[in-house]
Amino acid sequence: MNNDPDAVHSTAVDEAGGVNVPKQRPARALPIWEQITLMPNPLPEIDESHVDLRCRVLSHNLSMPVMIEPDGSRSSARPVALGRLAAAADRHGTMFSLGDLQPAFDKPSVHGELKTIRDSHRNVVMFAELPASRLIPQPDTPRLELAQVQQAVTDLRLNGLLINLNGIQQSFKSRYGATSAGSLQMLDELCDTLEVPVIVRSLTGIPRNICRLMIERGVRAVMVGGAEVVDDWLRENRPSQGELAERYRHKHETFAGWGLPTVAALRMLKGIGIPVISDGRIDTGLDATKAMILGADLVGVKLAGSRSGEDSDEAIERDMINLTADFRSAMFLSGAANLVTLPQIPFVAVSETREWLEAAEIMWKQDHA
């Protein structure tokens, strides 16, 4: 497949005029990076050491287009591991996310630990995350006031706040079901109140028309994952016993594979006008390169621990060195000297991934018709 935005693809259209997207297969995670092959350039006319990974995102200059994130076990309740990841972001000039900020509101000690991390790494572009459900009224969870959020952002000198549209998590885990009414108003007020960018995060992808609604409210960037990320979350957060566990098991069987694959989620938002961050499962620098070619401005990565279970500085540094080297090699072997030229690299997608990309491309064209 050529990644030319004006290329015409052959995805079938049903009789009603809708896009005939490939059928979801809930029994397994949907294919992603492995079904995309970059076209090799055996005569790149550049030196690998001169490949430039520098970029500017949300008014910040970065050494490479990466946001280091904690995995599920490295929430803000684990400050030692979190501090090591922040140190890696500092050394390598990437963005960094503290992860879920909720514990900082519940335990003053956690707030103090996060502030220590920030004070130790003053130059890192640092974000944190809150679920949308904590910012709108819920039947079983106290609502955070905007003043509280603003104070935490100021105290931690955050450069931005991620808002996780966690409706699917609520739907699966809450006894009361998902409560999402008022989300747009909440985003409007939050963007109006905070002096830092608000970034919306969705594990299931975001249609262009919904993304535009959020941009109108002041959202400055979006972070999109896909069905394979949802499946990871479902496996990691299964309740262990009781009525809720049985309800969760049923929903998991029914909705596994829900949402767009990351490849389609990225492609659908190309040219939307704000930075798009890939939340897909990134294991290598080659995966990161493919995400950037599909339309990401930045990729979220989870370092040693999400795969190896190691929390050491050595393991984290090894992951960063490998990620950077593979990223640069993939660009060199494809003939891209910098990130500006990277989206011009042609690629071939096969099987189900090709179908999803073609469907996303048609939806994008319909939006511009």
Q: Does a structural domain hold residue 24?
A: no
Listed in sequence order, the DSSP H helices in 174-241 are 183-193, 208-216, 227-236
Q: Does a structural domain hold residue 352?
A: yes
Query: For residue 239, what pLDDT is reported?
Result: 63
Q: Does a structural domain hold residue 256?
A: yes
Six token digits for residue 156: 């931690």
Query: For residue 5, what pLDDT is reported?
Result: 38
Query: For residue 252, what pLDDT is reported?
Result: 72
Q: What is the model's pTM?
A: 0.86
Calculate the average pLDDT of the chain: 84
Query: For residue 245, what pLDDT is reported?
Result: 72
Query: For residue 350, what pLDDT is reported?
Result: 93
Q: Going by C-beta distance under 8 Å and a sequence separation of 6 or more, which residues neighbour residue 177?
A: 170, 171
| C-alpha distances in Å from residue 237, one per residue of 28, 33, 159, 252, 303 | 17, 24, 29, 11, 20
Total structural domains in the chain? 1
Q: Going by C-beta distance under 8 Å and a sequence separation of 6 or more, which residues neighbour residue 106?
A: none
* pLDDT tens per residue across span 240-294: 666 667 767 777 777 777 778 889 999 999 889 999 999 878 889 999 999 999 9
CA dihedral defined by 141, 147, 152, 154, rounded to 10 degrees? 160
Residue with the two structure tokens 């879920």:
100
CATH number of the domain where residue 87 is located: 3.20.20.70
Residue 100's beta-bridge partner residues?
129
CA gap 282, 134 in Å, rounded: 28
Secondary-structure percent of the chain, ordered helix, strand, coil, rounded to 5 = 45, 15, 40
CA gap 234, 168 in Å, rounded: 10
Q: Divide the 369 residues of the chain into consecutive groups of 10 and give the mean pLDDT of each group.
A: 40 42 45 89 94 97 96 61 93 96 90 95 96 85 92 97 82 67 92 97 90 96 82 65 69 76 90 92 93 96 63 88 96 97 94 90 74
Q: Does a structural domain hold residue 62?
A: yes
Q: Does a structural domain hold residue 289?
A: yes
Q: Does a structural domain hold residue 316?
A: yes
Q: Does a structural domain hold residue 182?
A: yes
Domain membership of residue 109 as a residue range: 33-367
Query: For residue 117, what pLDDT is reported?
Result: 96
Six token digits for residue 54: 């520098």
User: Quick check: 158 and 115 in contact, CB under 8 A?
Assistant: no
CA gap 303, 232 in Å, rounded: 16
